[in-house]
Amino acid sequence: MNAVITGGTKGIGLAIAEIFAANGFELGITARTQSDLDVLQQDFSARFPAVKLWTFRADLSQKAEVLVFADAVAKRWPSVDVLVNNAGIFQPGKLLEDPDGFLENMLNVNFWGAYHLTRILAPAMLDAGKGHIFNICSVASQAAYPGSGAYAVTKFALLGFSKSLRYELRESGVKVTAVLPGATWTSSWEGTTLDPKRFVAASDVAKAVYHAWDTSPATVVEEIILRPQLGDL
C-alpha cells in the first residue's frame, strides 16, 4: 500500500505520514522546502527503517510543478492507494482590506494545488476500482470567523470540491473524505501564550484520518470534524 501526502514535513501532514508509516505504507511526501524533506528522510530512516519513503520538492501553488510531481508519482506507482491533500497556508486578513493578489495566492496553495493533483491522479484510482482521497479542510470550511477572510473562502472551496468529488465517485470504489480540524497545535502557533492543551493534537487528526481509511469497501466517512474539547478559539 502507498500514500501520497502533500505538505507532509510539518504539523498535520507530518502526523499523518507518521501513522501511515507505522502501519507499513510506502510514502510519497512533497513539500516546498528541500531541507525539510531532507530532515524528514533522515528522521524516518531512523524511526521507520522498513518503510520506503520517497520525497519530492514541489511548490504545489504552481500548476507546472503540480504536473511535474504528479508525473513523478505516476512513474513510481501505477495507482495511488491514499492521497492526502494537506498542503496549505493560513494568513489572516479582511476581504476588503487584503492587498491585490492575496486571495489568488491563497487559493493557489489551499485549493488549486489539491484540485489539479487530484484530477491527475484520480483516473488511475478509478481504473483500479479503489483508493481514498483525503482533503484537509478546516472548520473555516463551514463558517467564517474574525480574521478568516480569504482563508475561509479557500477552505469553503476545498469542502465544496470534496462534496462534488464524493458524489461523482460514489460508484467507482474510490472514497473521498473531507477533514475539518479546528485550531490544531502546529508550528503555525509558535509563540502563542495559549496552553497547548487548548488545541487539537495533530496526532489526533492523523488517527481520525487513518481510522477513516481503515473501513470496509462498503463504508465511507464523508466528513471528519475535530475541535478542541473546550470549543473554538
Nearest residue to 30 (alpha-carbon basis) of 78, 1, 71: 71
DSSP 46-67: HH-TTS-EEEEE--TTSHHHHH
Spatial CB neighbours of 210, under 8 Å, sequence gap ≥ 6: 16, 19, 20, 23
CB 91 within 8 A of CB 56: no
Q: Which class does domain 2-226 fall in?
A: alpha beta
Three-state secondary-structure class, residue 181:
strand
User: Which pLDDT does position 179 carry in this prediction?
Assistant: 98
Three-state secondary-structure class, residue 187:
helix
Three-state secondary-structure class, residue 45:
helix
CB 26 within 8 A of CB 80: no
Amino acid, single-letter form, for residue 218: A
CB 12 within 8 A of CB 206: yes
- Torsion from C-alpha of 119, 65, 69, 40, nearest 10 degrees: -120
User: Which pLDDT does position 191 carry in this prediction?
Assistant: 77
User: Which pLDDT does position 69 carry in this prediction?
Assistant: 98
Instruction: Report d(CA 8, CA 139) in Å as an integer.
Output: 20
Q: Are strands 82-85 and 53-57 parallel, antiparallel or unpaired?
A: unpaired
Per-residue pLDDT of the chain (233 residues; tens, 9 = 90+): 999 999 999 999 999 999 999 999 999 999 999 999 999 999 999 999 999 999 999 999 999 999 999 999 999 999 999 999 999 999 899 999 999 999 999 999 999 999 999 999 999 999 999 999 999 999 999 998 888 899 999 999 999 999 999 999 999 999 999 999 999 988 777 778 888 889 999 999 999 999 999 999 999 999 999 999 999 88
User: Which pLDDT does position 221 carry in this prediction?
Assistant: 98
Three-state secondary-structure class, residue 210:
helix
User: Which pLDDT does position 74 carry in this prediction?
Assistant: 95
Which residue blocks in 23-134 are alpha helix, DSSP H? Answer: 34-47, 63-76, 102-107, 113-128
Instruction: Report d(CA 208, CA 226) in Å as an integer.
Output: 9
Instruction: Report d(CA 216, CA 78) in Å as an integer.
Output: 22
Amino acid, single-letter form, for residue 204: D
Spatial CB neighbours of 138, under 8 Å, sequence gap ≥ 6: 151, 152, 155, 180, 181, 182
